[in-house]
Structure 1
């Protein structure tokens, strides 16, 4: 059964709306981790969230397939390294803050759940952008 063009556009718009809701939920969790415990140190993680897409934008351009492959030249490997370092930093900053006694368990749980929500949103966005049907529709 083939869907009409308008029905496919509606489904894709719904997926984009759900993706926006995921990102908004991650931002809300990030802010709640700080506001509920009256401690704004967990906002350091936002720096890693801002740094995370930079290597992909600067070094790879529009070629997303080279990130998922095993091979690659020096710039692709450098991009993978910087992206991995940003991901590790996104987990390590709240863990270090908890270990130092700066934040509590609740703030740590919200920070890590924010990371998971952002990770799901990024993976879903990469999956959506790799689909030929989605990119050829608009």
Structure 2
């Protein structure tokens, strides 16, 4: 999050902060599929595969948004919506945040974890 805020604040442009929406949405499909899938169907089932597919779409969108914002020109000028430095800060922040989310699921991904406490 620090890299994201630095990328936004140093350039006085808060458009890259919309990536936070993807940070909030990324773990939701997997949490829902683990909550409602039956454990008797084996390590993989259609519900889990769909949740992983949706999650990967969200993650790719989070990496794509700053690139698209950097490549998109401001209307009437040749200036980009966000500068190159902001794009790199946001991409670095994405790596850190999504690595943390993966670490959460590896740590709490066992069969004995009860999600009803959340």
TM-score under structure 2 normalisation?
0.74
Whole-Å separation in 1 of the counterparts to 2:107 and 2:32: 21
- How big is each residue's C-alpha offset from its partner over 1:7-36, in whole Å with a ceiling of 9 and x where there is no partner? xxxxxxxxxxxxxxxxxxxx1111111111
User: Does the residue aligned with 1:38 lie in a helix, a strand or coil?
Assistant: coil
- How big is each residue's C-alpha offset from its partner over 1:77-112, in whole Å with a ceiling of 9 and x where there is no partner? 221121011011110100100111100111011000
- 2:67 aligns to what? 95
User: Does the residue aligned with 2:108 lie in a helix, a strand or coil?
Assistant: helix
Q: Which runs of 5+ in 1 are unaligned?
A: 1-26
4+ long deviations beyond 4 Å: none
TM-score under structure 1 normalisation?
0.64
2:24 to 50, 55, 59: 50
Whole-Å separation in 2 of the counterparts to 1:128 and 1:118: 15
More helix by share: 1
Whole-Å separation in 2 of the counterparts to 1:127 and 1:54: 15
Whole-Å separation in 2 of the counterparts to 1:72 and 1:58: 13
Whole-Å separation in 1 of the counterparts to 2:110 and 2:32: 22
User: Does the residue aligned with 1:61 lie in a helix, a strand or coil?
Assistant: helix
- 1:108 aligns to what? 87
Structure 1 pair 131–79 and aligned structure 2 pair: CA distance change class (3 A)? closer
Aligned-pair distance for 1:123? 2.4
Aligned-pair distance for 1:131? 6.5
Q: Which runs of 5+ in 2 are unaligned?
A: 73-79, 114-118
User: Number of matched residues?
Assistant: 101
User: Does the residue aligned with 1:39 lie in a helix, a strand or coil?
Assistant: coil
- How big is each residue's C-alpha offset from its partner over 1:58-84, in whole Å with a ceiling of 9 and x where there is no partner? 222287x9xxx5x412x2222112101
Q: What CA RMSD, in Å, does the superposition of the two structures yield over aligned residues?
A: 2.2
